[in-house]
Chains A and B, each alone.
Chain A
Amino acid sequence: MALMKVKFDLKKRVKLAQGLWLMYWLAVMAGILVFSMGLFFKIELRKRSEMMDNNESHFVPNLLILVGLMACGVNAFGGKICHDSLVPAKFAKWQPMLKFFLGGCVLFNALLFFTALLCFTMRIALQFTLAEGLKNSMKYYKDTDTPGRCFMKRTLDLTQIEFRCCGNNNYRDWFEIQWISNRYLDFSSSEVRDRVMSNVEGKYLVEGVPFSCCNPSSPRPCIQYQLTNNSAHYSYDHHTEELNIWMHGCKEALLSYYGGMMNTIGAMVLLVTILEVGVMVGLQYLRTSLETLANPDEPENESEGWLLEKSFKETIAEFMEKVKSLGKGAQVEAGEDGQEQAVATVS
């Protein structure tokens, strides 16, 4: 009792083959799209790898690139099969391997779905990477003379300007680290020495932020030093007044940027998965309708096409039997060999 049986006459079969051919070419373009999205994502991660301690995992973009390439190949092949299915002689060439191709398609679709899920869940991993990476970036902000870290200041400044953020969670993170290098501190001055000594670790901490935290939209020239000291600036109350620096933290800003990107890519991959499942179902119908033709040289006859030959449960049971018999076959052979040898030695 076949699953979802449909009758096909010649016209219907031809229409199915042509429609499938078109959809396969659409799927090739979708594969190219997935590939380019993976490439774009990889480049975006690389651009800000300094913010993430060069520690970020490139697994998801690499998987997207691989899946995109595979999709192109599989769908181009499927398109060729559909194109040839209208000519019985050419179709006979492909017939034996079609079953395995469809099995491969099932596995490929499962991989696509898994990739889409990964896109949505990568956000969590990214959160931890960003938290750690940003903390270290801020720590190395002042080390513009240390090779390997000399561009950290520039990268962090440009990130804060571009993403309109300040510090890790908020601007107060800058109060807890020394971001002014010792090279520019006058150690003969008593004020500097007082500050350094009042700190346990001997760090020069200020209640100030770098210039890149300044918000250009603020009506007042930027106040970046002595932020919590109301008397240091005229007409300024840091409790009530909107500070003219960015209020968000860079971890939040970067996370929402990458999160948005990954959500879009994940949604696209899901759509591509649905398209792939659709073409796979269409190919199965085409294959079965051509195989059940009583006489392959008379394509005008009617034939039936189905999704599965037996019902779903029976197909699964058959599949498990096949797998078991494959395993048993190896065992029985070994057993027979042993018995034969025993017989040989006796006689």
Chain B
Amino acid sequence: MAVLKVKFTKNKRDKLAQVLWIVNWISVVTGIILFSLGLFLKVEISKQQEIMPDRQLHMVPNMLIAVGLIACTINFLGGKICHDCVDIAKYLRWKLLMLPYIICTFFFTFCILVGALMCYGMRGELEESLLSGLRDAMRYYKDTDTPGRCFLKRTVDLLQIQFQCCGNNDFRDWFHIQWISNRYLDMSSKEVVHRLRSNVEGKYLVDSVPFSCCNPSSPRPCIQHQVTNSSAHFNYDYATEEPNLWRRGCRQALLEYFTQIMQSIGLTVIITWLFELSVLTGVRYLQTAMENVLRNGNPDSESDGWLLENSFVEMARSNFKIIKNLGKCNQIDISGSDDPNIDVPSSSFAHYGPGNLPTKQIPVYS
């Protein structure tokens, strides 16, 4: 009892083959789109690699790139097969390849779904990586003379300008770290010494922020030093007035940016998955219809197409039996003998050819 049987006339078969050819080519295009989206994501993550040092983040774009390439090849092959299915002679070329092709595509479709889920699940990893990466970047902001960290100042400044953010959670993070290097501090000055002494770890902390936190849209020239001191600036009240710095934290800004990218990529992958699923179903129907045509013998006759020849349970059972028998080939049957070194075949009597034929009764002619 076949699963979802459909009758196919010759006309219907040809139409199915042509439609599948077109859909396969559309899927090639979506495969290329997936590949380029994966590449774009890889580039974006690499651009921020100083802030997000986690190597594991590259798994998702690598997977997308691989899936995109495989989708292109599979669908290209599928298009060729479907194009040839219209003609019986050409179909015979592909006959043996079709079933393995369908099985491969089935597993590949499963991979695409996994890829889509990975896209949506990446957010947690991203957040963790950003938390530690940004904190370290801000800590090493002043170390422009240390090799390996000398460009962190530039990276953080450009990040804050580009993503319109300040600090990790907000601008007050800059008050808790020393972002002015000791090289530029006048240690002979009383004020500097006083500040250093008042701090437990001997850090020079100020309530100031770097210039990259300044918001150009603010109507007033940037107040970046003594931000919390209302009396230091004319007509300025820290409590009520909006400081003319960026209000968002960089972690939130980067997270939002990458989440948006991931969501659009995830959506594209799901659409690709739906396409692949429909292509798989169509090719399966085409394959079974063409096989039945060959069985009937007449290339123009009607034939049946189905998804599975027997029900799902029976198919699982038969596959399981095949796997069991594969294992059994190597086992020896010891039921009929005491000596385990003698292999006794499981059947009751041996088939040794014509000698076992039942004797024919010779007709007696009287």
Total A residues in contact with B, Cβ cutoff 8 Å: 30
Lowest 5 A-B CB distances belong to which pairs?
Answer: A216-B157, A157-B216, A219-B144, A144-B219, A186-B234
User: From residue B71, how far is it (CB to closest CB) to chain A in Å?
Assistant: 30
Binary contact track A143-183/B, C-beta < 8 Å → 1, others 0: 01100001001100110010000000000000000011101
**Could you say which residues of chain A place their CB within 8 Å of the CB of B144?**
219-220
Using A158-B216, A219-B150, A221-B181 as known contacts, list a sample of 20 further A-B pairs with CB atoms less than 8 Å apart, ordered by residue number in A.
A184-B221, A184-B234, A185-B234, A186-B234, A189-B234, A211-B214, A211-B222, A211-B224, A214-B211, A216-B153, A216-B157, A216-B158, A216-B161, A216-B212, A220-B181, A221-B184, A221-B210, A221-B211, A222-B211, A234-B189
Q: Quick check: is A235 within 8 A (CB to CB) of the other chain?
A: yes
Q: Once bound together, how far apart are the Cα atoms of A214 and B224, in whole Å?
A: 13
Q: Assess the A154–B217 pair: CB atoms within 8 A.
A: yes
Q: Quick check: is A295 within 8 A (CB to CB) of the other chain?
A: no
**Could you say which residues of chain B place their CB within 8 Å of the CB of A145?**
219
Q: Quick check: is B308 within 8 A (CB to CB) of the other chain?
A: no
Query: Contacting A235 at CB < 8 Å: which of B145, B183, B220?
Result: B183
- Give the interface of A toward B (CB within 8 A): 144-145, 150, 153-154, 157-158, 161, 179-181, 183-186, 189, 210-212, 214, 216-217, 219-222, 224, 233-235
Q: Quick check: is B235 within 8 A (CB to CB) of the other chain?
A: yes
**Could you say which residues of chain B place their CB within 8 Å of the CB of A214?**
211-212
Q: Assess the A154–B210 pair: CB atoms within 8 A.
A: no
Q: Quick check: is B186 within 8 A (CB to CB) of the other chain?
A: yes
- Give the interface of B toward A (CB within 8 A): 144-145, 150, 153-154, 157-158, 161, 179-181, 183-186, 189, 210-212, 214, 216-217, 219-222, 224, 233-235
Query: Contacting B222 at CB < 8 Å: which of A161, A210, A216, A221?
Result: A210
**Could you say which residues of chain B place their CB within 8 Å of the CB of A157?**
216
Q: Once bound together, how far apart are the Cα atoms of A224 and B150, in whole Å?
A: 22
Q: Once bound together, how far apart are the Cα atoms of A157 and B210, in whole Å?
A: 16
User: From residue A90, how far is it (CB to closest CB) to chain B in Å?
Assistant: 34
Closest A residue to B234 by CB, please name it: A186
Q: Once bound together, how far apart are the Cα atoms of A38 and B98, in whole Å?
A: 52
Chain B, interface SS category: loop
Closest B residue to A245 by CB, please name it: B211
Q: Once bound together, how far apart are the Cα atoms of A210 and B222, in whole Å?
A: 8
**Could you say which residues of chain A place their CB within 8 Å of the CB of B161?**
161, 216
Q: Once bound together, how far apart are the Cα atoms of A217 and B150, in whole Å?
A: 9
A-B contact pairs, 6 of them (CB 8 A): A150-B219, A153-B219, A157-B216, A216-B157, A220-B181, A221-B210
**Could you say which residues of chain A place their CB within 8 Å of the CB of B180?**
221
Q: Once bound together, how far apart are the Cα atoms of A180 and B244, in whole Å?
A: 14
Q: Assess the A221–B221 pair: CB atoms within 8 A.
A: no
**Could you say which residues of chain A place their CB within 8 Å of the CB of B224?**
211
Closest B residue to A220 by CB, please name it: B184
Q: Assess the A211–B211 pair: CB atoms within 8 A.
A: yes
Q: Once bound together, how far apart are the Cα atoms of A181 and B221, in whole Å?
A: 8
Q: Assess the B234–A180 pair: CB atoms within 8 A.
A: no
Closest A residue to B212 by CB, please name it: A216
Q: Assess the A216–B154 pair: CB atoms within 8 A.
A: yes
Q: Once bound together, how far apart are the Cα atoms of A235 and B188, in whole Å?
A: 12
Q: Once bound together, how far apart are the Cα atoms of A189 and B235, in whole Å?
A: 13
Q: Assess the A222–B210 pair: CB atoms within 8 A.
A: yes
Closest B residue to A217 by CB, please name it: B154
User: From residue A106, how far is it (CB to closest CB) to chain B in Å?
Assistant: 43
Closest A residue to B180 by CB, please name it: A221
Closest A residue to B143 by CB, please name it: A219
User: From residue B332, how far is it (CB to closest CB) to chain A in Å?
Assistant: 75
Q: Once bound together, how far apart are the Cα atoms of A179 and B222, in whole Å?
A: 12
Q: Once bound together, how far apart are the Cα atoms of A212 and B161, in whole Å?
A: 10
Q: Assess the A181–B211 pair: CB atoms within 8 A.
A: no
Q: Once bound together, how far apart are the Cα atoms of A212 and B210, in whole Å?
A: 12
**Could you say which residues of chain A place their CB within 8 Å of the CB of B219?**
144-145, 150, 153, 181
Q: Assess the B212–A219 pair: CB atoms within 8 A.
A: no
Q: Once bound together, how far apart are the Cα atoms of A180 and B216, in whole Å?
A: 14
**Could you say which residues of chain A place their CB within 8 Å of the CB of B211?**
211, 214, 221-222, 224
When A183-B235, A211-B211, A211-B224 are in contact, do A234 and B186 touch as well, CB less than 8 Å? Answer: yes
User: From residue B147, how far is it (CB to closest CB) to chain A in Å?
Assistant: 13
